[in-house]
Copies of this chain bind each other. A is one copy, B any other.
């Protein structure tokens, strides 16, 4: 995951955000700010959290916050990215049935429920981050489609696996999940059941 830490000689591109050695207090500061932001987002929802709130909660000046993350959008993206990485670790290397070690269909169903909860918890951040079609369908969304596709393949699913994976992932889109919850009154549990119904069917069950 490290992006050229100085050992590979000259870098072909200037890495504007690369910090070869992050000073201890800077790293602590960063973690402190992210923890404060995460807590506020969990309490109030991302849309209600300002940079002033985060700075005050972390007990630092707003200048420090902006120097570190550039903008409110930048801070929110880092927050989302960190949580995405934690979830990716869990489905790639964590305990079954979300992680490896369970039968493919069981893993797929666990993925659907876990991802639905993640999407709901991060709906405002994900909705903003995927407003641009370039990010909606390219990295990091690619990782989720690849994961679902590989589980469909492992479950010996027939037919066009790309399209089936995309269809399943589409049902976990933040705006779609929010629409079903808010406009149609479908709980997360009901949405999980619906996702499971489609997943089982595609896997021939």
Contact = CB atoms under 8 A, between A and B. Distances in A.
Contact of A178 (B127, B133, B158): B133
Given A183-B138, A201-B202, A194 B163 contact: yes
A170 interface: yes
Contacts of A201: 158-159, 164, 201-202
A193 B160 contact: yes
B138 A175 contact: no
Nearest to A159: B197
A93 interface: no
Nearest to A194: B163
A46 to B, nearest CB: 15
Contacts of A170: 166-167, 170-171, 173, 176
Contacts of A164: 197-198, 201
Nearest to A168: B167
Given A167-B168, A167-B170, A170-B166, A137 B175 contact: yes
Interface residues of A, number: 31
A167 B194 CA distance: 11
A91 interface: no
Nearest to A137: B179
Contacts of A176: 137, 166, 170
A116 to B, nearest CB: 12
